[in-house]
């Protein structure tokens, strides 16, 4: 079963793989092995399909170097209609130039023919090694089986097929009431390394039978991503393939959502926020080589933007992250990171806590005894690092992890 992140809401109706059907009306999925990564005979090509046209929305990587699927999807998303997602792991199809674009389009053309839908309604996703051409012939041969084995219960298999260095699949499901109709939502994601705000090396697909206008769906998704995937960092790197995509096919037959302030729109927005944050925290828990899940909170800042900048500077610091791995309450590294964030702070007002143990007061350490108590906190799998600036009323929350020897090993061997 997919683990639930520490601190997740107790009243959530989300469920993980294995606890309940993740099926959503009108959607089918399948996964096959196309031998995309040599020596790994496991599912690596997946198809998610809506039997009827669906409203579509997406948020893409902010990296200026973008993979072929992202470039194609940016053109297709403007239509606001989608029918399917064809995704692969093991190869990013990034930095492959015009040949990579042609490979991706050949795949979507064949998938469209097999499904009997317009090619412009096929969205593409790839994740894996950068700079290598797709094994196109093997993938093309796998497409008929992919279409033939489509199933309403295929989403857990899809979640596994998009994994790269992930150690477990990440999928959640909820049901909410919209008007008098029951609406189902399933969201799946992958990602463990090259994770930071501005997306991450991650893919996320959200499927719902909600009826909603594409423009509203795009705005609700943008807000949800800002509150979830844009608040996590594993290693400070941003990938070339990141994408969060939502398909909403209207099969719940609720009155279509069109306005941001509508009570039903707010209910869906809260659910989407919660589900994406749950997935985001699972990505942190599964960070490459990670042994700690850290909730980093900066309080008492002059503005939320400044609090966020300070929190991210601390979260990205290799010195802070390695200290967390070493279970060393090295608060000096935290203050040094704050001081180089480019945000005006008064060091003599800063306070630092690990859970409830205070290691810094008025910019000065509270002593060896408190550091020893904090070191025992750092032995836990999950804890909170709280920084109080005492310069205002704004705050920001970021989710991060430590940086371990295994992170170096995983990334040193990634292409072998």
Q: Which residues are catalytic?
A: 201
Distance CA 379, CA 370 (A): 15
Could you tell me where the DSSP H helices lie in 77-186? 97-115, 136-148, 155-161
Burial of 265-283, coded b for 16+ CB within 10 Å and e otherwise, reads beebbebbbbbbbbbbbbb
Q: Give residue for tokens 């009243």.
A: 11
Helix (H) or strand (E) holding 174: strand 170-178
> Which of 82, 74, 61 is CA-nearest to residue 104?
74
Tokens of 120: 């412009």
Total residues found in the chain within this entry: 416
Gap between the terminal Cα atoms of the chain: 30
3-state secondary structure of 274: helix
Q: Are strands 45-60 and 81-91 parallel, antiparallel or unpaired?
A: antiparallel
User: CB of 243 within 8 A of CB of 125?
Assistant: yes
CA 339, 331, 289 angle in degrees (round to 5)?
A: 100
Query: What is the rounded CA–CA span in Å between residue 224 and residue 274?
Result: 8
Please state, as a whole number, how many other Cβ atoms lie within 10 Å of the Cβ of residue 414: 13
């Amino acid at each position: 079963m997919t683990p639930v992140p520490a601190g997740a809401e107790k009243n959530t109706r989300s469920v993980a793989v294995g606890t309940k059907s993740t099926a959503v009306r009108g959607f089918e999925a399948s996964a096959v092995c196309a031998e995309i990564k040599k020596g790994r005979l496991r599912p690596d090509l997946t198809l998610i399909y809506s039997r009827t046209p669906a409203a579509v929305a997406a948020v893409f990587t902010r990296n200026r170097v973008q993979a072929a699927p992202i470039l194609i999807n940016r053109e297709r998303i403007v239509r606001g209609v989608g029918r399917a997602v064809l995704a692969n792991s093991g190869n990013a199809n990034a930095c492959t130039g015009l040949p990579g674009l042609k490979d991706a389009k050949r795949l979507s053309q064949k998938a469209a023919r097999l499904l009997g839908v317009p090619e412009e309604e096929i969205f593409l996703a790839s994740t894996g090694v950068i700079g290598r051409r797709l094994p196109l012939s093997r993938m093309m041969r796998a497409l008929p089986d992919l279409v033939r084995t489509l199933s309403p219960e295929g989403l857990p298999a899809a979640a596994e097929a998009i994994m790269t260095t992930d150690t477990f699949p990440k999928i959640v499901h909820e049901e909410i009431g919209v008007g008098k109709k029951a609406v189902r939502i399933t969201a799946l994601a992958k990602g463990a390394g090259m994770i930071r705000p501005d997306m991450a090396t991650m893919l996320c697909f959200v499927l719902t039978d909600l009826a909603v206008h594409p423009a509203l769906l795009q705005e609700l998704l943008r807000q949800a991503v800002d509150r979830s995937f844009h608040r996590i960092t594993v290693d400070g790197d941003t990938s070339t393939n990141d994408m969060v995509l939502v398909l909403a096919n209207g099969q719940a037959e609720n009155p279509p959502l069109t306005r941001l302030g509508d009570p039903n729109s707010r209910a869906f927005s809260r659910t989407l926020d919660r589900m994406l944050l749950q997935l985001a925290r699972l990505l942190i828990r599964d960070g490459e080589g990670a042994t700690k899940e850290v909730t980093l909170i900066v309080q008492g800042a002059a503005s939320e933007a400044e609090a966020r900048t300070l929190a991210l500077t601390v979260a990205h610091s290799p010195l802070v992250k390695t200290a967390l791995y070493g279970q060393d309450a090295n608060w000096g590294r935290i203050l040094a990171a704050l001081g180089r964030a480019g945000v005006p702070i008064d060091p003599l007002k800063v306070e630092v806590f690990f859970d409830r143990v205070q290691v810094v007061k008025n910019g000065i350490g509270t002593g060896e005894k408190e550091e020893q108590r904090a070191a025992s906190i750092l032995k836990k799998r999950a804890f909170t690092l709280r920084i109080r600036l005492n310069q205002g009323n704004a705050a920001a929350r970021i989710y991060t992890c430590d940086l371990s020897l295994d992170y170096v090993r995983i990334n040193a061997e990634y292409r072998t």
